[in-house]
Amino acid sequence: MKNLYIMGTAGSGKTAMALGLALKLREQGYRVAYFKPVGHPTGVVDQHDEDALLMRELLHLEHPPEVIVPFIAGPSYLSGYRQCETLDHILSCYRRIAEGADVVIIGGASFPHIMGCLGLDAVTLAGKLEARVLFMIRIENDFSLDQAIFINSYLERCGIPLVGNVFNNVPRPLQAKTEGIYQSILRERGYRTLGIIPRRSEIASPTVAEFYDVLGGEILTGEEEMDRLVEDVVIGAMTIESALGYLRRSPNKAVITGGDRADMALAALETSTSVIILTGGLYPDVKVIARAAEKRVPVILVHYDTFTTIEKVTVVSRRIRPDDKKSIALVQENIEKYCDWPAIREALQD
C-alpha cells in the first residue's frame, strides 16, 4: 500500500489534483482511499471540511467525514488540544482509512506549516505516515518559485521522498515563463516538474458564495447571483482617479472597499464586477444598493476592517461539489493532458 501526500498553499489545487488522481487510479483497478489529517472549517458557520464530503461521495468511501478528516484547525485550534492525543487520533483514523486500500491519497492542509507548533505540520505528518509528496505550486510571481524550492529543499532534508511538483492554475501571462524559466530552475536544483496546468476559470475561480462562506456578513442585494465567478480581487482604498484603471482592466472581480466609499462602489459597478464587499460595518449610500440591484451584482457588508477582510479572502478557493460533473471532467482532463501521469503512477508502484 502506498501513500501520496499532496501539499501546497491555499488555492494551489490540492483538492482537484487529489480527486483527479484518485479517479484515474480507480479507473485502472486500484482500491483508492482518501485521508486528510488536518482540514479547516468551510466558513464562519459550517465547521466541517468540504473535501471529506466530496471524496466520500465520489470515491464511495464508507467512513464518516470525521474519520476522513479527523482534525479541523481553525485560527484558535490550540485551545483544548494536546499534541500526543491529537497525533494518536490522527494515526488511528488513518489506519481505519488505509485498511484494504492499495493507495491512500492524503490531502494537505491549507498551508504546509499549519499545526507546526504541535509538530503536526504537513511535512512532519508525511514522515509519520510514510508518504511520498506531490507539491502543488500556485505560481503568482517569482516569490512563488522561491517558496516551492524552500519546501522542496525542506522535504529533502527531512528525508521525505518527493515525487515532484505540479504548477497549477498558471495564469496565461506566466505560462511561457513557467515553461521556460521556472521549470528549468527547478530542474537545475534537482527537482522534477510533473505538470504545468493552465488556469481554467471554470474550476479555478471561486464563486461569490464561496467568498461569503469565508467572510459571512450581510447580503444587501444580489442573493440570487451568488454563483458568479470571481477571477480577481481589487482593493478600493485609493483615489477614484487612481482606481479607475485597475477597475477597467480586471474582469469578473471582487471589489473590497469601505462602506463609506460610495464613489468607489459606483465606479466598480460600471465595470465587469462580480461582487462588491463593503468593510467596516458601514451601510452604503442607497444609490449603491439601487445600482447594484439594477446590475444584478451582489453586495456583501462585513464588519471587519479592510485589512482583516483582505487577510480572510486569501484562503478563498473554488470548491468542487459532488454534482458538478463539468468541473470533475475538467479535473480528470487536466491530469491526462497536462501532467506526467505515467511518472506519478510509477512512483506509487516502486
Q: Which residue has the higher pLDDT, 231 or 1?
A: 231
Residue-wise pLDDT tens digits, 21-30: 999 999 999 9
- Whose cell is 444580489? That residue is 222
Domains 2-201+320-347 and 207-313 in one fold: no
| CB contact burial 29-64 (16+ within 10 A = b; e otherwise) | ebebbbbbbbbbbbbeeeebbbbbbbbbebbebebe
SS3 61: coil
- In terms of Cα–Cα distance, which of 28, 47, 70 is closest to 349? 28
Q: Could you tell me the three cell numbers for 276?
A: 462588491
pLDDT digits (tens, 9 = 90+) for 240-285: 776 777 788 888 999 999 999 999 999 899 999 999 999 999 999 9
pLDDT single digits (tens) 185-240: 999 999 999 999 998 877 778 899 989 988 999 999 999 999 999 988 988 877 77
Mean residue pLDDT of the chain comes to 89
Q: How far is it, in rounded angstroms, from Cα 64 to Cα 227? A: 28
- pLDDT the model gives residue 116: 87
The domain ranges of the chain are: 2-201+320-347, 207-313
- CATH node for 207-313: 3.40.1390.20
Beta strands 273-279 and 253-258, pairing class? parallel
pTM for this structure?
Answer: 0.79
**pLDDT score recorded for residue 25:** 93
- pLDDT tens across 98-157, in order? 999 999 999 998 889 988 888 889 999 999 999 999 999 999 999 999 999 999 999 999
Domain 2-201+320-347: CATH superfamily is: P-loop containing nucleotide triphosphate hydrolases (3.40.50.300)
